[in-house]
Amino acid sequence: MHERKQSANTRERTAALEVFGAFLKLGLTSFGGPAAHIGFFRQELVVKRNWVSESQFAQLLAISQFLPGPASSQLGFSLGLIRAGWPGALAAFTAFTLPSALLLFGFAAVLPHLSGNAGAGAIHGLKLVAMVFVAHAVIGMARQLCPDAARQTVAALATIAILLSHHSHMQLAVIIVGAIVGLRLPKLSTVAAGEALPLPYGTRTGGLLLLVFSALLLGTFTITSASDPLVSIWSAFYQTGALVFGGGHVVLPLLEQTVVAPGWIGPEVFLAGYGAAQAIPGPLFSVAAYLGAQLPDGHGGASGSAIALLAIFLPGFLLVAGALPFWRAISVRPAATRAIAGANAAVVGLLAAALYDPVFTSAVTDATDLAIGLIAFLLLVTWRRSALTVVVWCVLASATAAVLA
């Protein structure tokens, strides 16, 4: 008995180390924001490593989009949780977030050296990398999750709705509508048997996690200006992480209200951090590490950075971990599987919309960008070269084009 338990613990540690390694690679290479992260995650963890199926990946993506918080980080946290339990979830968060958090400390010193044409071109090349991986993800997921005309229609309408509306809540709306359409179209294929999400805990633990999330959120509204400054920092960043829908760039206006409005940080310092966050891999929420480090009166530095970073990510992780077992409990029912099929089709449409705006619109500014992107896509899909080859090609080609322009 003791030997079996020891063996299980060894396997869990090994799996957690595997998760850490995979997400450290993603944390160092996932440029382009939340939509691009989804493409990188799918390529590395679904296509290459086969950790989850396309359907399971789409379910996790839909849940992450549905809940407030940093969607791509919640998706990564969930993938680590399924792969290696709680140690895997922690490993996924740490490995994916740490590179961007550390880079934001040193970016201010490096930024002047990237102000020339070559540096600007190299940064632009990373946007082209993101475009290629998002396009690859859209095509692959569409093949798996939209095999019939009904779901292809759901995906197309979801894409149109997202592009016509610039409101962040439209993402949530199209997923809900997609699920409703799935319920009303019984001929939709249901989720295959065995596609339920494998979790190391049940609804009792999930309910406790949701209770902790709610208690912490309610507690933040009791914090006053007379409270300990570090407690106030925790409260402000926890509220931001708990109340933002859409993740990514949507969090920035809330963060501005959090740190600029009360006078903690000047607008110039805030905008410098925003600019730095655009140029590095990993989650945009990592800008909290930069903002926390810049807090005045001796409350910044390492302690302010750590508190801000943990506070902004924690509510999203509590929410998604709490919701997953309840999702699993209902997802095996026939009606739920039809709803999942419809929601998955809407997720494909959501990702297709993100491929155009903001990914394509920010990455492709002229015919040269388009040519570089097309060659990169051929390298990845047709010639089956590695992701590193795609990154090197886009960066070098874009930097060269900028110098010669």
Which residues fall within 8 angstroms of residue 110, CB to CB, at 6 or more apart? none
Predicted confidence band of residue 263 (pLDDT cuts 50, 70, 90) = confident
Of 213, 207, 186, 158, residue with least CA distance to 345: 158
Residue 203 has pLDDT above 60, yes or no: yes
pLDDT at residue 112 in the model? 46
- The answer to whether 31 and 129 have CB atoms below 8 angstroms apart is yes
CA distance 208 to 84: 21
Top-ranked range on mean pLDDT: pick from 130-144, 175-189, 313-327: 313-327
Average pLDDT over residues 287-311: 85
Coil, strand, or helix at residue 236?
helix
CA distance 228 to 223: 9
> pLDDT tens digits, residue range 207-222?
999 999 999 999 988 8
The rounded mean pLDDT for the chain is 85
Prediction pTM value: 0.77
> pLDDT tens digits, residue range 356-383?
987 898 889 999 999 999 999 999 899 9
What percent of the chain is predicted at pLDDT more than 70?
Answer: 87
Of 183, 302, 314, 294, residue with least CA distance to 237: 314
Average pLDDT over residues 8-16: 76
Average pLDDT over residues 252-275: 76
Predicted confidence band of residue 387 (pLDDT cuts 50, 70, 90) = confident
pLDDT at residue 7 in the model? 57
HSE-CB for 31 with a 13 A CA cutoff? 24
Residue 293 has pLDDT above 70, yes or no: yes
pLDDT at residue 187 in the model? 58
Question: What does the CA dihedral 81, 82, 84, 87 come to, rounded to 10 degrees?
Answer: 10
Average pLDDT over residues 279-290: 86
> pLDDT tens digits, residue range 103-143?
886 664 454 455 568 777 887 887 888 788 889 888 988 98
Residue 144 has pLDDT above 70, yes or no: yes
Predicted confidence band of residue 10 (pLDDT cuts 50, 70, 90) = low
pLDDT at residue 225 in the model? 57
State how far the alpha carbon of 364 is from the alpha carbons of 136, 374, 396, in Å.
Answer: 16, 11, 16
Coil, strand, or helix at residue 115?
coil
Question: What does the CA dihedral 389, 391, 392, 395 come to, rounded to 10 degrees?
Answer: 160
In angstroms, the first-to-last Cα distance of the chain is 69
Give the type of residue at 80: G
- The answer to whether 345 and 143 have CB atoms below 8 angstroms apart is no
Average pLDDT over residues 1-26: 77
Predicted confidence band of residue 193 (pLDDT cuts 50, 70, 90) = very low
